[in-house]
Amino acid sequence: MAGRPPIRRRTARGRLVLFLFGLLSVWLGLGYRLFEVQVVRADEYREMGLNQRLTREVLAPDRGTIFDRDGNPLAMTIDSQTLYAMSDEVEDPTFVAQQVAAVTGRDWRALRERLIQGDGFVYLARQVEPEAAAKVLELDLAGVYSLEEPKRVYPQGAVAAHVVGLVDVDGKGLEGLEYQYDEILSGTPGEVVFERDRRGIPIPQGLRHVIPPVPGDDLVTSVNLTIQYAAYQACEEVREETDARACWVVALHAETGEVLAMAGAPGFDPERRIAEDGSTHLTNFVVRGMYEPGSTQKLITLAAALDTGTVGVDTVIPQVSDRIEINPGACRSPDDDIFGCFGDFSPHETVDMTVGEIFTRSSNVGTIKIAQRLPAGALVDYMERFGLGHPTGIDYSGEAPGLLDRPRDPHCNTCVPSAAIGYAVAVTPLQMAAAYAAIANDGVWTSPSLVSSRIGIDGKVSSFQPQTRRVVEPETAWVMRQLLAMVVSEGTGQLASIPGYRVGGKTGTANKLGDDGKYTDETVASFVGMAPIDDPKVVVAVVVDQPAYEYRTGGRAAAPVFADVMEAALHALGVVPDAVSS
Amino acid sequence: MTGKVTSITQVRTTARRRERQRSVNARTATTILVVVAMLLVVGVTAIISASSAVAIVEVSDRFYFLKRQLVGIGVGLAAMAVTSSIPYQTYRRWALWLFWISIALLLAVLAVGEVVGGSRRWLDLGPVNFQPSEFSKFAVVVALAAVAERKGRLLEDSGHFMGPLVLLVGLTGLLVMLQPDLGTTVVIGVAAFGVLLCSQAPLRYVIGSGMLALAAGATLAVSADYRMERIEAFLNPWADALGSGYQLVQSYFALGNGGLFGVGLGASRARWFYLPNAHTDFIFAIIGEETGLVGGLTVMLLFTLLAVAGWTVVRRAPDGFGRMLAAGITAWLTAQAAINIGGVLGVLPITGITLPLVSFGGTSVGVTMAAIGVLLNVAQQGRTEG
């Protein structure tokens, strides 16, 4: 009995020590583990955690604005919202589709289809006005969200569409200046690297590293909106009046080669990316289209003859009939034009004609006779000098070079005479306008250009310098201008006259080649001219493709368009009228 | 005469001893109070940071959880004031009542409790929620201590030992497991182990039953799919770092980010929805991230101090009941803190129990502080051994 309590006390004490040992060892162990996690492996864990939180977002730069020469915007970028859905969060696709369609004007069946088929992210309506997006978001539809997506708009619509071109829905240049200058316009994307929370929202105390985007430069074009509008309008009207397939106009500043207007019909809506005739044919014929110029080419033939001293303007060419055979018997062949039989537009008696008369009356036979007096190769030489057969170097993508292969071919004896009157060669409307501008500019050819300067974010303006070269002597150019004036005052181009100004120009009527390789009755009617003739400021080229038969000549279809555009141009540029005594 | 002289000396000696005892008792109580206060401050600070992001998103009030926690602490302070002034001997009489109330509440929760995160743990009492299993911890400790004291050396008999153990701990554990809540069950088991360790039951019985409970717990752990998943996630969280291992991996990221000295108060990244339950079960990870190893060790040191103070109370308790009561409470608090932090550190499976006094949770704070009040009462009556 007496021995028991001490034993029990010792046992109790032992248990107490055991108890304390248990308590302390737990905390010692956990403390060591904490050290392991927070010190030994800390760097590894810290890095992994940071990588989990870090995210980068591209900051889209603002796309530059394209202006006309007076600062009117032709293409600009505005804020807009894009509505999208996470399809798995949408509870009632039909309801959502109908609600979104009601506000945005989209087809609700198509939207529903997309919602049902979609797996995750689904576009509902891209680039809608912020107000419309807000209206949809107010409906609080499950799974419907919006994001900011800038939209490219074209305040002038179809009027300037062939100048500025268009972008795709993601804002990438597809056509026109938008494509040509895409890199300059689009700027440099920025980037923001930041720590986000699990919902993707930046953590206030987190890392944040921003490389701001550099906005694209603005472009100032040489286009004059008034002239541009007149050109578009005139083309639309002539197309309606003559039932032509298409009409193209380009107006150049005579001295600088700057494009004042470049328009065509049918035009297209650059925002909807669809042509007015419903097709997706959006190309610019002025720069890319090739056609046989017909009589407008005679300017170059005659300028070559005068400039080389082969003939003078008053030189009489004897015995000019209404037909000429390059190969004997060609005119009796059924395929006469191919074997070297050339005729005039309308029959006439065989007469002696001066060089000047041949030009103003647009005699094919006379022109060929003049061309035959030229040294071998001189005609093609001059055509090249005037810029045919090569791209003009305009700052517009996809320019066509034209074709001079056949008159260059030594084995083709009919090709040079053909070329003399504008056949067997292909040119672009722009090339012809530039060739006439060389005559307007006292014999100096200047490469046409659209963009006159770019304005950087720092306000720095840089200008583009055109290329120039002398093509003919100033005297030759002066003589040619007088002849051009006579074409309008008393020749084939009388519908091109403008009250108050002396106008010069040349008509062209070229039969189109059919699919079978034979010439048809269909024509390309054109007119290229300049005003005021004593000191030309503006050159306008008009090409009307396939007008109705009664309008088939350049003088009927194209000259009135020229007159409309030129008049608008002279007024817009404030050109003082000539003192014309009638 | 000499007898009188002797008796005066004895009176003086007794008085001096009482004096010394009072001062030791006061020191122990003060230690406990200071540790509790510091843990509460640490908790509130961490909750402000850990909960604000969730609070803003869910209830548009960044101090929502802070306010509720302060209410819980207020209730806890009142409860502690009450329990520390009730002589612990009183519970002898109420022990079984407390136990049956606890059983009734556990049954109620199984019948009408709210299901949160797959388990039924809460009783919805209008403005406040109550978690009966928190109360059960206290009830089991009191009841087991009372029964063990009454049985005294009868516990040397295996029948007398097993009977109350199966009834009190087994029944409570069973009901808690039905919620299911393995973590709380383990805490109750460890608390019971603490009580029995200080009873007159033979050590082999105590340790044997502990081993048995451990085996039972392990069996239970692998018995349910979701618990098995937790075990696998605990063994290799990186195998499914975005799924079952996600919480532990995020905990590591937070602690690693904290490093030695932490990223600073309020600068935790894990709280931005990366670490689930950042303000409740995983608050220790946020503390570690914001205050680093230094802060984390400080919290551990506070719990160690609490454990040592609790052990002092056990050692100096005036009777067996007080000793077992203090041992149960100390074991309970230490076990709960260690299981929680062990889960956060990946050395124990995640069980979903709170870090006492620190985690957000009104019932937890309230019941914990009430239990500490009881501990304080035992401490005040402490006397030198022998």
pLDDT at A203 over 90: no
CB spacing of B345 vs A15 below 8 angstroms: no
One-letter amino acid of A304? A
Are B274 and A16 an interchain contact pair (Cβ–Cβ within 8 Å)?
A: no
Among partner residues B256, B266, B301, which is closest to A45 by beta-carbon distance?
B256
Does the pLDDT value for residue B204 go beyond 60?
yes
Question: Is residue B176 situated within a structural domain?
Answer: yes
Query: Testing the interface with B: which of A27, A32, A207 to mutate, by most B Cβ within 10 A?
Result: A27
The verdict on B324 touching A (C-beta cutoff 8 Å) is no
| B5 has pLDDT over 80 | no
Domain with CATH 3.90.1310.10 in chain A: 64-221
Q: Are A404 and A425 in contact (CB under 8 A)?
A: yes
What does the pLDDT look like over B166-200, one tens digit per residue?
A: 889 999 999 998 888 888 999 999 999 999 998 88
Query: Which has the closest alpha carbon to A106: A134, A77, A80, A136?
Result: A136
d(CA A47, CA A279): 56
pLDDT higher at A359 or A12: A359
| Contact with chain A for residue B320, Cβ under 8 A | no
Does pLDDT of A8 surpass 70? no
Name the band, by pLDDT with cuts 50, 70 and 90, for residue A1. very low
Reply yes or no on whether the pLDDT at A173 is more than 80: yes
B203 vs A: CB within 8 A: yes
pTM of structure: 0.71
**Above 70 in pLDDT, residue B53?**
yes
Q: How many CA atoms lie within 13 A of A402 on its CB side?
A: 30
pLDDT digits (tens, 9 = 90+) for B313-369: 999 999 999 999 999 999 999 999 999 999 999 998 888 899 999 999 888 899 999
Name every residue whose Cβ is closer than 8 Å to that of residue A151 and which is 6 or more positions away in sequence. A77, A78, A79, A80, A127
Residues in Cβ contact with A279 at an 8 Å cutoff, skipping those fewer than 6 apart: none
Q: Do residue A45 and residue B255 have CB atoms under 8 angstroms apart?
A: yes
List A453's β-bridge partners, or say none: A220, A463
What are A160-171's pLDDT values in tens digits? Answer: 999 999 998 888
> What CATH class has A64-221?
alpha beta
Q: What is the pLDDT of residues A45-80, one digit of tens each?
A: 999 999 999 988 888 888 999 999 999 999 999 888
pLDDT mean across residues, chain B = 89
Q: Are B331 and B145 in contact (CB under 8 A)?
A: no
| B270 at interface of A, judged by CB pairs closer than 8 A | yes
Identify the weakest region by mean pLDDT among A187-201, A318-332, A555-569, B255-269. Answer: A318-332
Distance CA B138, CA A358 (A): 123
Residue B41 in any domain: the answer is no
A54 to chain B, closest Cα gap in Å: 11
Confidence band, pLDDT 50/70/90 cuts, at residue B4: low
* Per-residue confidence (pLDDT) for residue A373, from 0 to 100: 92
Q: DSSP letter for A182, please.
A: H
B chain contacts of residue A24, beta-carbon cutoff 8 Å: 304, 307-308
Contact A77, A153 (CB under 8 A): yes
Contact B113, B83 (CB under 8 A): no
Q: Touching check for A207 and chain B: CB below 8 Å?
A: no
The CA distance from A202 to the nearest CA of chain B, in Å, is: 10
Nearest to A540 by CA among A517, A563, A557: A563
| Predicted pLDDT at A127 | 86
Query: What does the DSSP assignment read for B324-347?
Result: HHHHHHHHHHHHHHHHHHHHHHTS
The pLDDT assigned to A255 comes to 92
pLDDT of B57 > 60? The answer is: yes
For B297, name the nearest residue in chain A, comparing CA atoms only.
Answer: A31
CB B29 within 8 A of CB B310: no
Considering CB atoms only, which of A11, A34, A197 is closest to B293? A34
- A-B interface: how many C-beta pairs under 8 angstroms? 127
Q: Where are the alpha helices (DSSP H) in chain B?
A: 2-59, 64-85, 90-112, 132-151, 158-164, 171-177, 182-197, 203-223, 225-235, 246-258, 283-316, 320-345, 362-380
pLDDT at A335 over 60: no
Pick the closest to residue A381 from A431, A329, A328, A420 (CA basis): A420
Report the C-alpha gap between A117 and A125 in whole angstroms: 16
Return the residue in B234, B255, B305, B324 with the most chain A beta carbons within 10 A, the one to mutate for interface testing: B255
Residues B138 and B145: their CA atoms lie apart, in Å, by: 11
Provide the shortest C-alpha distance from residue B48 to chain A (in Å): 16
Q: Does A199 touch chain B (CB under 8 A)?
A: yes
Q: Is A27 on the interface with B (CB under 8 A)?
A: yes
What is the model's pLDDT at position A298? 94
Arithmetic mean of pLDDT, A545-574: 94
Using the Cβ of A43 and the Cβ atoms of chain B, whether some distance falls under 8 Å is answered with yes
DSSP 3-state assignment of A389? coil
- Structural domain of B293: 90-355
More confident residue, A280 or A338: A280
pLDDT in tens, A28-39: 999 999 999 999
φ and ψ at residue A113, rounded to 5 degrees: -55, -45
Residue B190 at interface with chain A, using a CB cutoff of 8 Å: no
Cα A543 to Cα A235: distance, rounded to the nearest angstrom? 9
Residue B84 scores a pLDDT above 80: yes
- What is the average per-residue pLDDT within B98-124? 85
- Note whether B336 contacts A: Cβ–Cβ < 8 A: no
Residue B296, chain A, CB below 8 Å: the answer is yes
Q: How many CB atoms are located within 10 Å of the residue B15 CB?
A: 10
A405 closest CA partner among A392, A388, A386, A391: A388
- Predicted confidence at residue A480, as pLDDT, reads 95
Give the mean pLDDT of chain A. Answer: 89
The answer to whether position B47 is within a domain reads no
Main-chain dihedrals φ then ψ at residue A317, nearest 5 degrees: -100, 115
Nearest-CA distance from A136 to chain B in Å? 23
Quote the ipTM score.
0.91
Q: What is the DSSP letter of A38?
A: I
Tell me, what's the pLDDT at B161?
85
The better pLDDT of the pair A5, A358 is held by A358
Residues of B within 8 A of A203 (CB-CB) are 269, 272
* Domain count across chain B: 1
Element (H, E) at A366: helix A364-373
* CA atoms of B322 and B379, how far apart (whole Å): 9
Q: Does B344 touch chain A (CB under 8 A)?
A: no
CB < 8 Å to A199, chain B: 273
Q: In chain A, which among 460-489 make CB contacts under 8 A with chain B?
A: none
pLDDT reading at A7 higher than 60 = no
Q: Do B194 and A19 make contact, defined as CB atoms within 8 angstroms?
A: yes
Q: Please judge whether A53 and B345 are an interchain contact, meaning their C-beta atoms are less than 8 angstroms apart.
A: no
| Number of other CB atoms surrounding residue B353 within 10 Å | 26
Asked if B248 contacts B233 with a C-beta cutoff of 8 angstroms, the reply is yes
Q: Is B152 in the A-facing interface, judged by CB distances under 8 Å? A: no
Query: Is there a contact between A27 and B194 if contact means CB atoms under 8 Å apart?
Result: no
Is A576 within 8 Å of chain B by CB?
Answer: no
Decide if B379 is inside a domain.
no
Alpha helices in A187-284 (DSSP H): 225-242
Tokens at B151, concatenated = 């049985």
Starting at the edge strand that comes first in sequence, how are the strands of the sheet with A144-148 ordered? A121-128, A81-86, A144-148
Q: Would the CB atoms of B288 and A34 count as touching at under 8 Å?
A: yes
Which are the contacts of A384, defined by CB distance < 8 A and separation ≥ 6? A390, A404
Q: What integer is the mean pLDDT of A222-234?
A: 95
Which three-class secondary structure state does DSSP give residue A251?
Answer: strand
Which pLDDT does position A6 carry in this prediction? 43
Q: What 3-state class would DSSP assign to A511?
A: strand
Probe site for chain B from A38, A43, A44, A47 (most B CB atoms < 10 A):
A38
Q: Are A577 and A500 in contact (CB under 8 A)?
A: yes
A37 and B CB contact within 8 Å: yes
**Beta-carbon contacts of residue B115 (< 8 Å; ≥ 6 apart):** none
* CATH class of segment(s) A225-581: alpha beta
Does B105 map to a domain?
yes
Rounded to an integer, what distance in angstroms lies between the CA atom of residue A322 and that of residue A349? 7
Q: In this predicted model, which residue has the larger pLDDT, B361 or B299?
A: B299
Specify the range with the lowest mean pLDDT, choosing from A374-383, A534-543, B53-62: B53-62
Q: Does A549 touch chain B (CB under 8 A)?
A: no
Percent of chain A residues past pLDDT 70, beyond the cut: 96
pLDDT digits (tens, 9 = 90+) for A508-532: 999 888 888 778 889 999 999 998 9
Neighbouring-strand partners of residue B52: none
The answer, for A514 touching chain B at a CB cutoff of 8 Å, is: no
- Of B272, B288, B347, which has the smallest distance from its Cβ to A38's Cβ? B288
Contact A52 B260 (CB under 8 A): no
Chain A residues whose beta carbon lies within 8 Å of the beta carbon of residue B308: 20, 23-24
Q: A-chain residues within 8 Å CB-CB of B194?
A: 19
CA gap A172, B58 in Å, rounded: 42
| pLDDT given for residue A580 in this prediction | 53
Phi, then psi, of B40 in degrees rounded to 5 = -65, -40
CA-based nearest distance B190→chain A, Å: 11
